[in-house]
Amino acid sequence: MTDVIQLLPDSVANQIAAGEVIQRPASVIKELVENAIDAGATSIDVIIVDAGRTSMQVVDNGCGMSETDARLAFERHATSKIRKADDLFTLRTMGFRGEALPSIAAVAQVELRTRRATDELGTSLTLSGSRVMGQEPCSCAVGSSFTVSNLFFNVPARRKFLKSNATELANIVTTFERIVLVYPQVAFTLHSNGQELMNLRSGSLRQRITDVLGRRYSQDLLPVDADTQLCRISGFVGKPEAARQKAAHEYFFANGRYMRHPYFHKAVLQAYERLVPTGARVPYFIYIDVEPQDIDVNIHPTKTEIKFENEQPIYQLLTAAVREAIGKFCEIPSIDFDTEGRPDIPLATPQLLTQQSMPTAPQPRYNPGYNPFRQKASQDWQRLYGQLPSADQPDAGQLPLFGDDATAAAGSAVTAETTLVAGSPAATAAITQYQYKGTYILAAVKSGLMFIDQHRADIRVRYDRYLAQLTDAPATGQRLLFPEAVELTAAEGVLMEQMLPMLSAMGFALQQQTDTSYLITAVPTDIDGLQPSAVVRQLIEAGGQDAASADGSPMRHSLALALARQSAIPYGQVLSNEEMDTLVNQLFACSDVNHTPDGHTIIAILPQADIDSLF
């Protein structure tokens, strides 16, 4: 029997390794920019064409490479970062495995132009699918210039499963942000299809965060600084009022390397306990510096997972440092005991009050039964104020009943014997409805007492309407008298290009001013009272949570749900009978009357047997 185990060729082994290291164009950018940083570059330029499908170029002014090093850099496990196994425990560089360049060359066409400061001529090296196509001297600037073209040209299955250009470009921008936030002393530029997306000059960390994520973050950041023998924790966290339900910028960096760490994330959330609503997310940019031997970054090829030897003590230090930052820099009212040298202000003693003519406090006159949704007059106004109401004064005697009065009235009005059927207008025609505490709509049905959450019901109604607009029935917006401007980050600007047709279908009209600024000139007709710029920003955050597929279905769902949540009837708003009838009829015409699009219950029925058992 012949032997069956064979040694794979280097080209095949490189393609296998590339499957783990190079997952998409953003992976190429990550590896090349990290190599440029390790080379000591102070200026790095990234140029993208067609979201990396056509070409990606990274130019730096680092130390450059010799002719021999340039050729050897594309061999597997060839690296300048380590020499022996013990060096893995003293890593100070971003890369160390020697897998990135051979993996890139295995699935793309690569051209390298590099020169050292001590050399008169540089080296030009061309590779295609791990094969060296040519190497010759050339004239070039000090540093290195990598050009990666036709990614996955020899692996068509991998190229086929790449996402849309907008999605891949958004991933590149996200990866780029994670790197530039660590090295504020390095100048970066990012260009896509000839347009400049980012131009970041060297400066302080706070300035870099503001340049990347927008000026609105400058006022919401609190500095964190804790230096111990175990580790040093620095960076910034957001003020409690900067919390949002989703899409908060949350970054952890360990020794200059971006990482994901759910355990440390809980430590930050614990510091904000009882300061932000449940489920809210607070932005933070936290940098943890520890001794290299106390962490292990050699876990995953992407190096975003890091193991810490002292996780629990760092957890406690992190929570204490964030709490200290919140308590030290947040504006919290306090008692001032330092009154030395200040003028004495006499207290309002009884003797002093008798010497002065005190004005009489006015007695407010109001109608406790006022309801702006009523049109008919009421004799109760005469009982309260001794005069009849005018034509524009509401009827105070026909208000919706609450509490015990509503219960008593509901007991005498339970006459509906029809079981509710979704989509049937006759199901709600003969039902007497009441509103309870501005939150629930109560209706008597055959099986008992039905409770409808008015806010969630309106979310379901509006969601179905907006989804229909996004699918096949675009809406016309209402023009704004005074257009509003909205400033976006580079990542949000890339996402906006993909979202513009969907926003237009929902009734928004936006005019692009620059690459990252838009002017809102029209909004949907049913979002009165909301600030257009805040609504658009919330929609961008919601759309960024779901990468759009070929037809954009996940993003359409996110946009429709986000706009429905913002514009739905709030809790506590008093509804008239006509408004309750309209809402209930619209609800029972929806595709799902029992649950909101995100799974929350809309309708609950208290059985008649349970009501009878109370008596």
3-state class (DSSP) for residue 113: strand
The torsion angle over the Cα atoms of residues 159, 163, 167 and 168, rounded to 10 degrees, is: -10
Determine phi and psi for 120, rounding to 5 degrees.
-80, -35
394 or 7: which leads in pLDDT: 7
Give the orientation angle of helix 532-543 with respect to helix 553-567, to 10 degrees.
140
- Mean pLDDT (the chain) is 79
pLDDT, one tens digit per residue, over 415-442 is 333 344 444 443 444 455 788 888 899 9
Q: What angle do CA 211, 145, 209 make, to 5 degrees?
A: 10
User: What are 510's strand-pairing partners?
Assistant: 520
Q: Which of 602, 606, 586 is nearest to 454 (CA)?
A: 602
In 10 A of CB 267, how many CB atoms? 21
Given a cut of 90, whether residue 185 has pLDDT beyond it is yes
Given a cut of 70, whether residue 602 has pLDDT beyond it is yes
pLDDT, one tens digit per residue, over 208-256 is 998 888 877 778 889 999 998 889 999 999 888 888 877 678 899 988 8
User: What are 281's strand-pairing partners?
Assistant: 244
User: CA 100, CA 116: separation in Å to the nearest integer?
Assistant: 21
Given a cut of 70, whether residue 358 has pLDDT beyond it is no
Q: Which amino acid type is present at position 584?
A: V
Q: Is 255 left (phi over 0), alpha (psi -120 to 50) or beta?
A: left
User: CA 164, CA 25: separation in Å to the nearest integer?
Assistant: 12
pTM greater than 0.75 (yes/no)? no
402 or 376: which leads in pLDDT: 376
Helix (H) or strand (E) holding 356: none
Q: Are 451 and 440 in contact (CB under 8 A)?
A: yes
pLDDT, one tens digit per residue, over 92-143 is 666 566 678 888 988 899 999 999 999 999 999 999 988 889 999 999 999 9
Q: Which amino acid type is present at position 538?
A: Q
Residues in the chain: 615
Burial of 5 (0-12, 13-18, 19+ CB in 10 A): exposed
Using pLDDT thresholds of 50, 70 and 90, give the confidence band for residue 1. Answer: low
Show the DSSP H helices in 330-402 as ranges: 350-355, 380-385
User: What are 514's strand-pairing partners?
Assistant: 517
CA-to-CA separations, 515 to 142, 195, 512, 559, in angstroms, rounded: 32, 8, 7, 22
Given a cut of 90, whether residue 512 has pLDDT beyond it is no
CA-to-CA separations, 52 to 46, 63, 174, 302, 463, in angstroms, rounded: 11, 26, 14, 19, 36
Residues 6+ apart with CB under 8 A from 215: 487
Determine phi and psi for 567, rounding to 5 degrees.
-100, 0
